Structure 1
Amino acid sequence: MPVAQVNGIDLYFERAGSGPPLLFISGTGGDLRNKPNVFDGPLARSFDLLAYDQRGLGQSDKPDVTYSMADYADDAAALMAAQGWDEALVIGVSFGGMVAQELVLRHPQRVRRLVLACTSPGGEGGASFPFHEIEHLKGAARARYLIPIGDVRRDDAWAADHPDQYEQLVALGSADPFADEPGHAAGAHRQLEARAAHDTWDRLPQVRCPVMIAAGRHDGIAPVATQEKLAARIPGARLQIFEGGHLFMIQDRTAAPAMAAFLLETNRG
C-alpha cells in the first residue's frame, strides 16, 4: 500500500498517468476506495496525477486530535516533497479547495497554477455550507437533506417528478461502506471542525500564481455568489461557471477539459 510518512502521520496516496505533475486535493469525506474517483476521469490522461486520503480519512492515519487547515496544507506540501516534487499544478475541490488556498498561501513556491473548484474563502467572503451543523444526520436522512442543497434544481417538485432518479441519489448519498472502521467517525468529525474554522479571506490578495475559480451554476453548497467574491479577491483570477451543482465536474463534461486546459497553458510552447 503506497504510504508517505508526513508530519508524524502516514498518508495513503495513489499516483498514475504521465505529463506535468498535478496534485488533486479531494473534498469532505474523500476516500480513494470509493469508485469512481479522479483516476477514472480524464485528468490521468494528461497529467502525472497524485491524489491522497487526507488525515482522518480513508486509509490514512486518523489521530483523534484537533486538526487545523494549516495541518492539511502542510500535509499536502510534505506529500509533494516526499514524491520529489518541488512544485506542481494543483486542483482543490470543495474542502480540498480550502486546503489548496492554505497550501498556496503557506507554501507559494510549491503551486505553479491552481484550480479552486466549488469552494469558499470563509470570513467576509462567505463560508461554504455548514456541514458541522448536520453531523448528526446519517444515511438516507442526510442524503435527503443534502440533495436539494447540492443542486438547487432538485427541489421537492423535481423529486416528485423524478422518483426513480431521486431514490437513486438517496441510495448513493446514503452509502458509507467504511463507517464502522476504527477512527472513521473521529477523523470525519475532526475534518468538520477544521472546515468550520476555515478563513483565508484577508490573505487571498497575497496569491500570485494563476488561479481558475470553477463553479457549478446550481450549487447551493458553494454558491456562485461566493465564487464571484473569491475570484474578485485573488489577483487575476479567472472565473468559469459550469452547468451543474456541487458535482458539476461529473455533471458537465466540459469542466475537466477546461480545468486541464487552464493548467496546461504554461506548458505549451
Structure 2
Amino acid sequence: MQKVEFDGRRFSYIRRGQGEPLLLIQGMSGHNGMWGEEFLSLLEPHFDVVAYNHRGIGESSWADGQFTMSDLADDAAGVIRGVGWSSAHVFGISMGGMVTQELLLRHGALVRTATIGCSWAGGPDVSLGETVRRAIAAMSTRDADHALKTAYEMNLSPRFVMPYEDYVSISLSQRVPVPVVLMQWEAAQRHDTSARLPSLNAKVQVIHGTGDAGMPVRNGEHIASLIPGARLELLQDASHLFWFDEPFRTADLLKQFAALADK
C-alpha cells in the first residue's frame, strides 16, 4: 500500500497498470480492496490505476470530524495531484459517485472523463432505497455479523450472487470504523447537486444496474438527465456492486469512454 500526504492528511492507495490515468473512488464503507482482483486485472493493461481509501478508512488518516462531499472531493483532487497527475479519468461508485459530481463541479480541470456509477444527485425527485437505511441501522448496532449480512443482501442481486464468505473476507480485509461510515452517511444524506449539474460542460457517463436495491436505477437516470450530453449505460439485473456482476462490461465501458474522449 502506497501513501500520499497533503493538507496534513495521509491517504493510502494501490497503484497498478499502465496507460491513461484512472482514479477509482469507492463508496460508503468501501475500501480499495473492494474493487476486486478480477476487475482491477481487466483495467491494468489499459490504465494507470490508482484506487485510494477515503479519510478514516484502511491506512488513511482518521476522519477528525464531520465532513461533506465537497471535502471528499477536495481529497480526491489532492490524490490526483499527489500521485503526480495533471488530470485523470475518474470512476466513482455510490458515495464515490457523489464525490465525483463534486469533483467535476469544484475541480473540473483535473477530470478528463467522469464515470458515475450507482449513485444519486440528491434533491426532491429521487430517493435512496429503504435497504440503505436498514444497512445503516444494522451497522449502528455494532453487531458485525448482522451488519455484514444486511449489506450483503443490499449490495448483491439474486442473479449475480457472490458467496457470502467471499463478501465477508473482502469487506473485513481493511479497517472500516463504524463512526466513519456514519459520518459518510450523514454527508450522503446532505448531498444535493441537482441544481448545479446542468451547468457542467464535461464528458460524463453514468452506469447503473437495473437490479440495484440500495440505489434504485431511477437515480442514475436522473443524474444522466441533469448533465448535458451525459451517456447512460444500464446493466440489466446488475446489483449495486455491478463491477463484480459485470466486470468485463464495466471495464469495456471505461475503456471505450476514455477512447472516445480522446478523439
Q: Would you call these one fold, judging by a TM-score over 0.5?
A: yes
Whether 2:252 is the aligned partner of 1:233: answer no
AA at the equivalent of 1:228: E
Q: Once the two structures are aligned, what percentage of the paired residues are identical?
A: 31
1:136-179 deviation per Cα after TM superposition (whole angstroms, max 9, x unaligned): 2543323443444334547xxx9xxxxxx78x32x444455368
CA RMSD of superposed structures (Å): 2.6
Residue 219 of structure 2: SS of its match in structure 1? helix
Q: Is the 8 A contact 2:39 2:251 kept in 1?
A: no
Distance 2:48 2:191 in 1: 29
Give the superposition deviation at 1:255: 2.2
Correspondence 1:67-146 to 2 at 5 A? 67-128=67-128, 129-130=132-133, 132-137=136-141, 138-146=143-151
Q: Which runs of 5+ in 2 are unaligned?
A: none
Distance 2:41 2:149 in 1: 27
AA at the equivalent of 1:135: M
Give the superposition deviation at 1:240: 0.6
Cα 1:174–1:83 shift into 2, 3 Å: closer
Whether 2:251 is the aligned partner of 1:247: answer no
Q: Is the 8 A contact 1:62 1:184 kept in 2?
A: no
Residue 190 of structure 1: SS of its match in structure 2? helix
Q: Is the 8 A contact 1:26 1:96 kept in 2?
A: yes
Q: Give aligned pairs, total.
A: 255
Distance 1:91 1:34 in 2: 14
Q: Which runs of 5+ in 1 are unaligned?
A: 159-164
Cα 1:213–1:70 shift into 2, 3 Å: same
1:80-133 deviation per Cα after TM superposition (whole angstroms, max 9, x unaligned): 111232211111111111110010011111111110011111112424334544
Distance 1:24 1:228 in 2: 21
Correspondence 1:22-37 to 2 at 5 A? 22-33=22-33, 36-37=36-37
Give the superposition deviation at 1:40: 3.2
1:188-237 deviation per Cα after TM superposition (whole angstroms, max 9, x unaligned): 23222222221111111122111111010101112111111111011111
Structure ID, larger Rg:
1
Q: Which residue of 2 aligns with 1:161?
A: none
Correspondence 1:152-171 to 2 at 5 A? 153=158, 168-169=163-164, 171=165
Q: Which residue of 2 aligns with 1:188?
A: 181
Q: TM-score by structure 1 length?
A: 0.84
